[in-house]
Amino acid sequence: MEMNLNLPEELLINVGTESREFAFKSKRQRPARRSVGKIIFSIMWLAFISVFVYFMLGPVIAGGSTETIINGETKVISADNLKPALPLIAFLGVFVSVGLGLLISGIYSIFQKGAWFVGTPTRLIRYKKGVLNSFDWSQFNGKIEIRGSNTRGNITLEMSTGRMQRSKGGSYYVPDIVYFIGIPDVYEIERIVRKRIEENSPKTVIGNR
Protein backbone atom coordinates (compact mmCIF):
# COMPACT_ATOMS: atom_id res chain seq x y z
CA MET A 1 0.00 0.00 0.00
CA GLU A 2 2.94 2.26 -0.79
CA MET A 3 3.81 2.88 2.86
CA ASN A 4 7.39 3.86 1.99
CA LEU A 5 6.46 6.91 -0.07
CA ASN A 6 8.18 10.22 0.58
CA LEU A 7 5.16 12.02 1.99
CA PRO A 8 5.06 15.84 2.11
CA GLU A 9 6.54 17.24 5.32
CA GLU A 10 3.29 19.01 6.31
CA LEU A 11 1.42 15.72 6.02
CA LEU A 12 4.00 13.84 8.08
CA ILE A 13 3.80 16.47 10.81
CA ASN A 14 0.01 16.20 10.92
CA VAL A 15 0.04 12.41 11.09
CA GLY A 16 2.63 12.51 13.84
CA THR A 17 2.86 9.25 15.79
CA GLU A 18 -0.45 7.87 14.53
CA SER A 19 -0.33 4.43 12.97
CA ARG A 20 -0.45 4.60 9.16
CA GLU A 21 -2.66 1.84 7.73
CA PHE A 22 -2.23 3.03 4.16
CA ALA A 23 -0.68 5.94 2.30
CA PHE A 24 -0.71 6.83 -1.39
CA LYS A 25 -1.12 9.61 -3.92
CA SER A 26 -4.27 9.58 -6.01
CA LYS A 27 -3.52 9.79 -9.74
CA ARG A 28 -6.26 12.32 -10.50
CA GLN A 29 -8.69 14.47 -8.58
CA ARG A 30 -11.76 12.68 -9.96
CA PRO A 31 -12.55 9.75 -12.29
CA ALA A 32 -11.86 10.33 -15.98
CA ARG A 33 -15.37 9.12 -16.84
CA ARG A 34 -16.87 12.08 -14.96
CA SER A 35 -14.66 14.53 -16.86
CA VAL A 36 -15.42 12.85 -20.19
CA GLY A 37 -19.12 12.95 -19.39
CA LYS A 38 -18.93 16.70 -18.78
CA ILE A 39 -17.00 17.20 -22.03
CA ILE A 40 -19.55 15.22 -24.05
CA PHE A 41 -22.44 17.14 -22.48
CA SER A 42 -20.77 20.49 -23.22
CA ILE A 43 -20.13 19.51 -26.86
CA MET A 44 -23.78 18.49 -27.26
CA TRP A 45 -24.84 21.76 -25.61
CA LEU A 46 -22.68 23.83 -27.98
CA ALA A 47 -23.85 21.80 -30.98
CA PHE A 48 -27.49 22.51 -30.09
CA ILE A 49 -26.78 26.23 -29.67
CA SER A 50 -24.87 26.24 -32.98
CA VAL A 51 -27.89 24.79 -34.79
CA PHE A 52 -30.08 27.45 -33.22
CA VAL A 53 -27.62 30.21 -34.19
CA TYR A 54 -27.43 28.92 -37.76
CA PHE A 55 -31.22 28.74 -37.97
CA MET A 56 -31.61 32.32 -36.73
CA LEU A 57 -28.56 34.02 -38.25
CA GLY A 58 -27.38 31.60 -40.95
CA PRO A 59 -27.91 34.00 -43.87
CA VAL A 60 -26.03 36.76 -42.04
CA ILE A 61 -23.13 34.42 -41.26
CA ALA A 62 -23.01 33.43 -44.93
CA GLY A 63 -22.67 37.10 -45.88
CA GLY A 64 -26.30 37.76 -46.73
CA SER A 65 -29.15 39.25 -44.72
CA THR A 66 -32.32 38.22 -42.95
CA GLU A 67 -35.40 39.97 -41.69
CA THR A 68 -37.01 40.07 -38.27
CA ILE A 69 -39.99 41.83 -36.78
CA ILE A 70 -39.36 44.07 -33.79
CA ASN A 71 -42.27 45.96 -32.21
CA GLY A 72 -44.33 45.32 -35.34
CA GLU A 73 -41.66 46.77 -37.61
CA THR A 74 -39.61 44.75 -40.09
CA LYS A 75 -35.87 45.07 -39.55
CA VAL A 76 -33.10 43.87 -41.88
CA ILE A 77 -30.15 42.17 -40.22
CA SER A 78 -26.84 41.96 -42.08
CA ALA A 79 -23.13 42.03 -41.39
CA ASP A 80 -23.27 45.81 -41.78
CA ASN A 81 -26.35 46.16 -39.60
CA LEU A 82 -26.25 43.88 -36.56
CA LYS A 83 -27.94 46.31 -34.19
CA PRO A 84 -31.41 44.70 -34.47
CA ALA A 85 -29.84 41.34 -33.60
CA LEU A 86 -27.84 42.49 -30.58
CA PRO A 87 -30.44 41.31 -27.97
CA LEU A 88 -30.53 37.89 -29.66
CA ILE A 89 -26.73 37.72 -29.89
CA ALA A 90 -26.42 38.64 -26.21
CA PHE A 91 -29.00 36.01 -25.28
CA LEU A 92 -27.25 33.30 -27.29
CA GLY A 93 -23.87 34.45 -25.98
CA VAL A 94 -24.91 33.52 -22.45
CA PHE A 95 -25.63 29.93 -23.52
CA VAL A 96 -22.43 29.72 -25.56
CA SER A 97 -20.46 30.95 -22.53
CA VAL A 98 -22.05 28.26 -20.36
CA GLY A 99 -21.15 25.58 -22.91
CA LEU A 100 -17.57 26.80 -23.24
CA GLY A 101 -17.24 26.99 -19.47
CA LEU A 102 -18.37 23.37 -19.10
CA LEU A 103 -16.01 22.27 -21.89
CA ILE A 104 -12.99 24.04 -20.40
CA SER A 105 -13.85 22.74 -16.92
CA GLY A 106 -14.15 19.17 -18.22
CA ILE A 107 -10.84 19.30 -20.09
CA TYR A 108 -9.08 20.92 -17.12
CA SER A 109 -10.42 18.31 -14.69
CA ILE A 110 -8.85 15.49 -16.73
CA PHE A 111 -5.39 16.91 -16.00
CA GLN A 112 -6.01 17.85 -12.37
CA LYS A 113 -3.60 15.88 -10.20
CA GLY A 114 -4.88 13.97 -7.22
CA ALA A 115 -4.15 14.46 -3.53
CA TRP A 116 -2.10 12.57 -1.00
CA PHE A 117 -4.09 10.32 1.34
CA VAL A 118 -3.15 8.70 4.63
CA GLY A 119 -5.46 6.41 6.56
CA THR A 120 -5.11 5.92 10.32
CA PRO A 121 -7.32 3.95 12.72
CA THR A 122 -9.29 7.11 13.56
CA ARG A 123 -9.33 9.26 10.43
CA LEU A 124 -8.62 9.80 6.74
CA ILE A 125 -6.22 12.64 5.90
CA ARG A 126 -6.10 14.38 2.52
CA TYR A 127 -3.34 16.78 1.51
CA LYS A 128 -2.92 18.80 -1.67
CA LYS A 129 -1.05 22.01 -2.43
CA GLY A 130 -0.71 23.07 1.19
CA VAL A 131 -4.34 22.35 2.09
CA LEU A 132 -4.92 19.55 4.59
CA ASN A 133 -8.31 17.99 5.35
CA SER A 134 -8.96 15.49 8.12
CA PHE A 135 -12.08 13.31 8.08
CA ASP A 136 -13.20 11.14 10.98
CA TRP A 137 -14.30 7.72 9.73
CA SER A 138 -17.73 8.45 11.24
CA GLN A 139 -18.21 11.10 8.52
CA PHE A 140 -18.58 8.38 5.86
CA ASN A 141 -21.87 6.55 5.35
CA GLY A 142 -20.35 3.21 4.30
CA LYS A 143 -21.33 3.38 0.63
CA ILE A 144 -18.20 2.40 -1.31
CA GLU A 145 -17.69 1.79 -5.02
CA ILE A 146 -14.70 0.00 -6.54
CA ARG A 147 -13.65 0.07 -10.20
CA GLY A 148 -10.65 -1.58 -11.81
CA SER A 149 -8.47 -4.39 -10.51
CA ASN A 150 -6.50 -4.91 -7.32
CA THR A 151 -3.33 -3.95 -9.19
CA ARG A 152 -4.66 -0.50 -10.12
CA GLY A 153 -8.15 0.87 -9.60
CA ASN A 154 -10.47 3.50 -8.17
CA ILE A 155 -12.40 3.75 -4.91
CA THR A 156 -15.31 6.13 -4.35
CA LEU A 157 -16.28 6.95 -0.77
CA GLU A 158 -19.61 8.61 -0.07
CA MET A 159 -19.84 10.92 2.93
CA SER A 160 -22.71 11.64 5.29
CA THR A 161 -22.42 15.35 4.50
CA GLY A 162 -23.61 16.95 1.27
CA ARG A 163 -25.74 19.67 -0.24
CA MET A 164 -29.11 20.21 -1.88
CA GLN A 165 -29.25 20.91 -5.61
CA ARG A 166 -32.19 22.15 -7.63
CA SER A 167 -33.44 20.76 -10.91
CA LYS A 168 -36.60 21.00 -12.98
CA GLY A 169 -38.02 18.04 -11.08
CA GLY A 170 -37.34 19.66 -7.71
CA SER A 171 -34.52 19.59 -5.17
CA TYR A 172 -32.36 16.55 -4.50
CA TYR A 173 -29.53 15.69 -2.14
CA VAL A 174 -25.96 15.28 -3.43
CA PRO A 175 -23.51 13.71 -0.96
CA ASP A 176 -19.90 14.81 -0.70
CA ILE A 177 -17.50 12.35 -2.35
CA VAL A 178 -13.88 11.38 -1.79
CA TYR A 179 -12.10 9.74 -4.73
CA PHE A 180 -9.06 7.46 -4.71
CA ILE A 181 -8.00 7.28 -8.38
CA GLY A 182 -5.45 4.94 -9.95
CA ILE A 183 -4.24 3.45 -6.67
CA PRO A 184 -2.67 0.02 -5.95
CA ASP A 185 -3.95 -2.63 -3.51
CA VAL A 186 -7.53 -1.53 -4.08
CA TYR A 187 -9.22 -4.45 -2.34
CA GLU A 188 -7.01 -4.29 0.74
CA ILE A 189 -7.51 -0.55 1.09
CA GLU A 190 -11.26 -0.97 0.66
CA ARG A 191 -11.25 -3.64 3.38
CA ILE A 192 -9.45 -1.32 5.80
CA VAL A 193 -11.69 1.63 4.96
CA ARG A 194 -14.89 -0.40 5.39
CA LYS A 195 -13.65 -1.81 8.69
CA ARG A 196 -12.87 1.63 10.09
CA ILE A 197 -16.17 3.10 8.89
CA GLU A 198 -18.12 0.27 10.50
CA GLU A 199 -16.15 0.62 13.74
CA ASN A 200 -16.86 4.34 13.89
CA SER A 201 -20.45 4.23 12.65
CA PRO A 202 -22.83 6.03 15.04
CA LYS A 203 -24.94 2.86 15.20
CA THR A 204 -21.90 0.79 16.18
CA VAL A 205 -20.83 3.31 18.82
CA ILE A 206 -24.33 3.42 20.35
CA GLY A 207 -24.58 -0.36 20.27
CA ASN A 208 -21.31 -0.73 22.19
CA ARG A 209 -22.38 1.51 25.07
Helix (H), strand (E), coil (C) string for 89-157: HHHHHHHHHHHHHHHHHHHHHHCCECCEEEECCCEEEEEECCEEEEEEHHHEEEEEEEEECCCCEEEEE
Residues 22, 185: contact at Cβ < 8 Å?
A: yes
pLDDT at 54: 77
Helix then strand count (H, E) for the chain reads 5, 9
Are 106 and 120 within one domain? no
**Of 26-30, 53-57, 95-99, 205-209, minimum mean pLDDT range:** 205-209
Does the structure show a pLDDT above 50 at 204?
no
Domain end (from 51, 77, 110): 110
Give the domain extent around 44: 34-110
For the whole prediction, is pTM greater than 0.85? no
pLDDT at 76: 66
In 3-state terms, what secondary structure has residue 199? Answer: helix
Are 118 and 198 within one domain? yes
The number of distinct structural domains making up the chain is 2
Enter the DSSP assignment of 70: E
Are 184 and 90 within one domain? no
Quickly state the pLDDT bin for 209 (edges 50, 70, 90). Answer: very low
pLDDT at 188: 94
Are 92 and 125 within one domain? no
Residue type, 199: E
Does the structure show a pLDDT above 90 at 186?
yes
157: in domain: yes
What is the C-alpha to C-alpha distance for residues 68 and 56, in angstroms, rounded to an integer? 10
